[in-house]
Amino acid sequence: MKKIDERDTMFARMNYMEGTFPYEDYYSRNADKLEIDNEIRKKPNLCGPGTMSYNAINSPIATACFKFLGDIKDLSEGEVNNIKTPIDKELATEKLKGLATYYGAKLVGTLKMKDYHYYSHRGRHEEVYGEKVDNLMPYGIVFAVEMDKDMINRAPQISEIVETSKGYVNTSIIGMVLSYYIRELGYNARNHMDANYLIVAPLVGRDAGLGQIGRNGILTTKEYGSRIRLGVVTTDLELMEDSPIDFGLEEFCRLCNNCAITCPGKSIPKGEKENIDGALRWQINQESCYDRWRSLGTDCGICINSCPFSQGIHMSEIKSFNGNKNAIIDCLKDYRNKYNIRPYIKDSPEWLK
């Protein structure tokens, strides 16, 4: 599987300002992306004045969260205690999973990191633009926090990005605690968090058995659907290896199509998986997706709440999905009788009005 270059992601590309080295370098090699990127840059920023959802009092809540995350991102790496505490991989795994859960993670997995889990090059910040990612630590712990269903069911209103930004804060704090703890034990560790990833979190989560990647390109779990945020800590502390799982999501996504139908940017493919860079997958159109974010003023979230798994499909139904087309069709009928295509809560919570 071909490694992903962070320079190609929309979050990186939107940071390239005319006259800077990243701008000149990137578009000299990717001239086909210059026009669309410049058109998107003309639009208001997320949570900014001029967007559909802007509120002078509430929008800065999410902005504040992202600024906080930017302020602490350099703490992702740190000094390692020169006294190494011996600990076997079974106990280390138990302690780290327990600590992550104690701090609020709902799902936790550990694994041996693969080369394709890491970006090939960095791109999101000018000071590290183009650096080859070579801090490839051999083990990882990945964890998911649940996002509040009612807040996500208000997508694409401000409530949605208030909740997603909270999710990023929660995962960053868990990751900081884990990485600081591992370094205190005398082993190296790095927290991968918003605006400071060296890894592709959904791939790590998939391979550690937290869920599968669905049609919308997001890690989908059988417990919470896509209604999660992921954090990852990589380390040289030896850990146990969890295995990927298959709860029938691929066949479910083939028949469901809810996310593709409801996507306001028409960014999610409705057809079959395609071979992209050596992997069979569905791939969203990130340009049209992010363009819609900039119009809405939030990170949308409609594909998250339109996923039946995000609304809590019964476990008894999930167990019968694998290879059982009729069970999926019956489940989708029940879901659509209840929600039509997706649930939508129009009013904000009282404290956010």
pLDDT at 316 (0 to 100): 53
Q: What is the pLDDT of residues 212-241, one digit of tens each?
A: 999 999 999 999 999 999 999 999 999 999
Where residue 330 falls among pLDDT bands split at 50, 70, 90? confident
Q: Is the pLDDT of residue 22 over 80?
A: yes
pLDDT at 125 (0 to 100): 96
- Residue-averaged pLDDT of the chain: 95
Residue 338: CB atoms within 10 A of its CB come to 10
Tokens 């003023």: give the residue.
297
55-71: average pLDDT? 98
- List CB contacts of 260: < 8 A, sequence separation 6 or more: 215, 216, 268, 269, 270
Q: Is the pLDDT of residue 179 over 90?
A: yes
200-210: average pLDDT? 98
Length of the chain: 353
- Token pair of 155 as six digits: 């997508």
171-188: average pLDDT? 98
Q: Which helix (H) or strand (E) holds 191?
A: strand 189-192
Where residue 312 falls among pLDDT bands split at 50, 70, 90? confident
pLDDT at 329 (0 to 100): 87
6-18: average pLDDT? 97
Rounded to an integer, what distance in angstroms lies between the CA atom of residue 218 and that of residue 220?
A: 6
Q: What is the pLDDT of residues 106-153, one digit of tens each?
A: 999 999 999 999 999 999 999 999 999 998 999 999 999 999 999 999
